[in-house]
Amino acid sequence: METAHVQDMITEDSFDAETIRQKLQRHYEQYDKPTGLTLESVGHLTERLMGLMFPHLTPENELALSLDERLESIRNEIKRICKRLSGAHCASLDAFLSDLPDIASVSHQDAVAIYEGDPAARSLEEVILCYPGLFAVTAYRIAHDLLKRDIPLLPRMITEFAHQKTGMDIHPGAKIGSPFFVDHATEIVIGETTVIGNNVKLYQGVTLGALRIKPGDKVTKRHPTIEDNVVIYANATILGGETVVGRNSIIGGNVWLTQSVPPHSRVMFKSCETETITKIVK
């Protein structure tokens, strides 16, 4: 007990608030002034935008509001965010809002593809309320449109909120066609320069990533191209900006792919030999 008391005294006497403050202040000088945005606040905005995409996802505190009131409120919220962001083009905000009906239409196609493609889905409402992949892809579609409008940071925060909520990591810079079927969603990664065609299906654990990264290279295409009508099964990894998976191909589970395959290909993982040992207990 006496040793602990002495240690407490040493710790208390050695505490120098001014020195700590100065060191932290020098540390903070390495960064630009924070925008004040948080994932919590952007997540709230994302959920409001999701409510515009699907009426089933309307936040409870907005159920009594008219659609006009909700649109105006969201417009004002995004405008406030734009003013916080250095270099943000607030003038493009109305163009983004005008795109929302089109984004909603494409997201509906995604929902229908999941409903029709998954025998476990009993209704479209179940897909909208219960399938994390639909949430992540719809959030991506919203973020991608914002990114096209040269609005910084916000698109990445929207997809990161969806990533933390669903386990699916989609960079808003990726280009994804429709419909886009994602089953389970967990641990799917889609990199910034990925291009995905129409009617593509991904299962859990798929990575569409970069093969080699040159320091400072933010222009070169680093991620693969997936053409129309491709199915990629669980835990497949496809890497490289020059890698193209041709249309109507199937990539089996656990495949590691770093080279292009032509249309109508079937790429399968050659399983290891297994031995089953049965122990008989007498």
Q: Is residue 12 domain-resident?
A: no
Q: Is residue 217 domain-resident?
A: yes
Task: Find the range with the poorest average confidence among 33-37, 75-79, 196-200, 271-275.
Answer: 271-275
Q: With a cut of 80, say whether residue 40 has pLDDT above it.
A: yes
Query: How many separate domains does the chain show?
Result: 2
60 vs 274: CA distance, rounded Å: 53
Q: Mean pLDDT of all residues in the chain?
A: 90
**What is the per-residue pLDDT for 217?**
75
Q: Is residue 55 domain-resident?
A: yes
Task: Find the range with the poorest average confidence among 68-72, 78-82, 163-167, 246-250.
Answer: 78-82
What's the order of all strands across the beta sheet hosting 256-257? Answer: 169-170, 189-190, 207-209, 237-239, 256-257
3-state SS assignment for residue 176:
strand
254 vs 158: CA distance, rounded Å: 29
Contact 227, 245 (CB under 8 A): yes
**What is the per-residue pLDDT for 33?**
84
Could you report the per-residue pLDDT of 83-124, keeping only the tens digit for each? 888 655 677 888 999 999 999 999 999 999 999 999 999 999
93 vs 95: CA distance, rounded Å: 5
**Average pLDDT of the residues in 125-134:** 97
Q: How many angstroms separate the most distant Cα atoms in the chain?
A: 79
**What is the per-residue pLDDT for 5?**
55
Look up the pTM and report it: 0.87
Do 152 and 114 fall into the same domain?
A: yes
Q: Is residue 274 domain-resident?
A: no
242 vs 210: CA distance, rounded Å: 10
Q: With a cut of 60, say whether residue 61 has pLDDT above it.
A: yes
Q: Is residue 259 domain-resident?
A: yes
Q: Is residue 90 domain-resident?
A: yes
212 vs 188: CA distance, rounded Å: 19
Do 203 and 252 fall into the same domain?
A: yes
Amino acid (1-letter code) at residue 163: H
> Which residues span the domain enclosing 108?
36-168
Do 40 and 135 fall into the same domain?
A: yes
Could you report the per-residue pLDDT of 171-213, keeping only the tens digit for each? 999 999 999 999 998 999 999 999 999 999 999 999 999 988 7
**What is the per-residue pLDDT for 205?**
97
pLDDT band at 272 (very low <50, low <70, confident <90, very high): low
Q: What CATH number did the domain enclosing 232 receive?
A: 2.160.10.10
pLDDT band at 130 (very low <50, low <70, confident <90, very high): very high
Q: Is residue 103 domain-resident?
A: yes
Do 46 and 160 fall into the same domain?
A: yes
Dihedrals phi, psi of 149, to nearest 5 degrees: -90, 10
User: pLDDT higher for 83 or 131?
Assistant: 131
pLDDT band at 276 (very low <50, low <70, confident <90, very high): low
**What is the per-residue pLDDT for 231?**
98
Do 191 and 164 fall into the same domain?
A: no
pLDDT band at 215 (very low <50, low <70, confident <90, very high): confident
